[in-house]
Chains A and B, each alone.
Chain A
């Protein structure tokens, strides 16, 4: 979208082809005795000095003025929906977004892209939000990265929010990086903490290096300051009657909706397990289980407790459990009321995915295993004895 131009003066060009060699992109070609520019030109400026005859001029678009930070105001939350249902992570973002907006003394808006979402948008107004911005178009019914990124980029450019938060979901992570590139601002992934500094900047805290390290990130010179936040990391806002705000319903400009990806179908996950992230109780297994069959006893225990089965990365890497069950840095982040870790040693990458559970029970042979460092109750014992005994205790058949 730049207005740069590379101009070849036909009066000066002698057709010596020196510029062709100077170009890193193969963007110059010969048309007879005249050099011409093709679509590959990156306006890099390599060719003008190479031309001994001064025939090439690079006209750079006016350098964008530094962003005027005070033009940007308000906190926006992306109201992710799947099949017309606003996702749980949105309520968590509203909770945090409200806190940030109050600290800054600015309004909180939720931005919903979709089709036929009137009811869901009205429902959002019962939460502590000042406004819902609804962009309605049949083309936005299902997520597609290009239209979503263009519509959001366009609104950001025109409305200028200072903070933009989205869920670190497949959808949020997929299109927000495009938005950040398009509006030329910073984006911080998977934030676990968000706060406002004395200078009114968004302080974004996130784990890195497999959770071994926390980093706090600032985006001082560009706007909006954008972050993604994982589901279940921050507490959800409750309905509190709202703020008496309204819904602003917008259409989408047709030229923003073009997509070079086409949705051909949807394959729902076939596994019968309870959605791990939503489960109140998770029984998880690791390398200590030794073989895939051992997960059957965890399934039994989980069933008796009404919970779901999770897995460490080691068990997934060994092919004992499908990836969709993996808890940890490269798997899912969970925050159940009770997490039962069986034969899991507690590598940092696993701990970051489950250590904000309300209660943790750990059963492991090795009494020095790091998992005991986070466990509410620990049993240094053999999972193959303790788990079947628990199943019997709960009235089941091991």
Chain B
């Protein structure tokens, strides 16, 4: 995988919000790569900056109050953070698409689903209304909506939540994107529908050979779909690596703690405390206050930078204990839970 060029490179991305209380550093120096055709999962608690990271990539974030203040997002040789409105508009929907969390609100209630899919087709391709309509029916059919030809003239309120999310996915596919950014696309759905939507995304990924960045706080989903995982906490990347590394030998105490939140033979072990205030991040490691392994140096200076864990260039961790002079062996890295997720070699 490292042999090919990355499709997307996020480098030291910094996104802030200007609020009445002060500046919120929602994304604070985040870096990761996405290779063609792979699935990268961004995991973390609510408020850790996952969504803002995703929405900074195509700059669909509301700006102002949001602002990208630093870093680069390289896609196809273009830095999207500095690209012109026109350039980025050409990429949106055509090369990079989004699927959002809330299928309830993602569709405009006053237009038929057909009109909204057609709009996505015609925004990127110079096709007539009729051809676009044909294409929209094909897309609806592809995302598994029965009797697509009849349903195309229905309004969003005539669809269930799961069906609406399928429509949103159809919209995202309209431009035949290379990269799909899915922001908790199944969080608002019930479990059976969630499984269907995930299956659909995986099937589409295979058929269309597109990369997916999947934002979630559900580690079960991560185990099922991810090739690689980026763990975020308090606007920073804590750890990233191959899904097997993350699940079987988590390096960062935060990742370890997250995995312990999953139900296991000893029940669940919640992480005590809450996320630090994003208006005023503490000195040192962002997780130190909640970390069971924290030592004095963890509370001073900057948040530790990402460095290889176990000397593996593909498995990065931002924890002082992995630096020279410290003993990372104090961290218990063996999985405690009986693995309820088949993280097989071929998922």
A and B physically associate: no
User: Which A residues form the contact surface with B (CB < 8 A)?
Assistant: none
